[in-house]
Amino acid sequence: MGSVKNSKEYLNYAPLKINGLMTVKSNIKNMGNNAPIEEQANLTLENLSNLLQSSGSCLNNLLSTTVYLCDMKELDAFEKVWQEWFKDKKEPKRFIVESPNEIQNLKLEIISTAAF
């Protein structure tokens, strides 16, 4: 879905695995405030998918996600990207929280729990 050519653009965090469940944090570095939310969302979801796959899981195994958006005005644009990623997949329970404190100039961050 995304178009990242350099995997170093991702901030990779080791998944925490306990009793068949894992928690994964996904976002991207070096995007800057000027990158559109659609691009950041697409790359963040691509990173999440890659992290899950490398840990023996996949997007279909997501149980819940918490999406931290810096600006709820961008929710509709984020939602379009989300729906594209999950159009053929089981959609997890999802919580969306406004978090105006931008960390490393990111417009969003996703923390997920998945089965593996």
The whole-angstrom distance between residue 84's C-alpha and the CA centroid of its chain comes to 13
- For residue 4, being part of any structural domain is answered with no
**Contact criterion met (CB below 8 Å) for 22 and 57:** yes
Asked whether residue 83 is domain-assigned, the answer is yes
In a domain, 30, yes or no: yes
Q: Whose CA is closest to 44, among 56, 55, 59, 64? A: 59
Residue 97 within a domain: yes
Residue 3 within any structural domain of the chain: no
What range does the domain containing 61 cover? 10-115
Question: Residue 13 has what pLDDT?
Answer: 61
Q: pLDDT tens digits for 51-88?
A: 899 888 999 999 999 999 989 999 999 999 999 999 98
**21 domain residue, yes or no:** yes
Number of compact structural domains in the chain: 1
What CATH number is attached to the domain comprising 26? Answer: 3.30.1330.40
C-alpha 80/C-alpha 97 separation (Å) is: 17
Query: Model pTM?
Result: 0.81
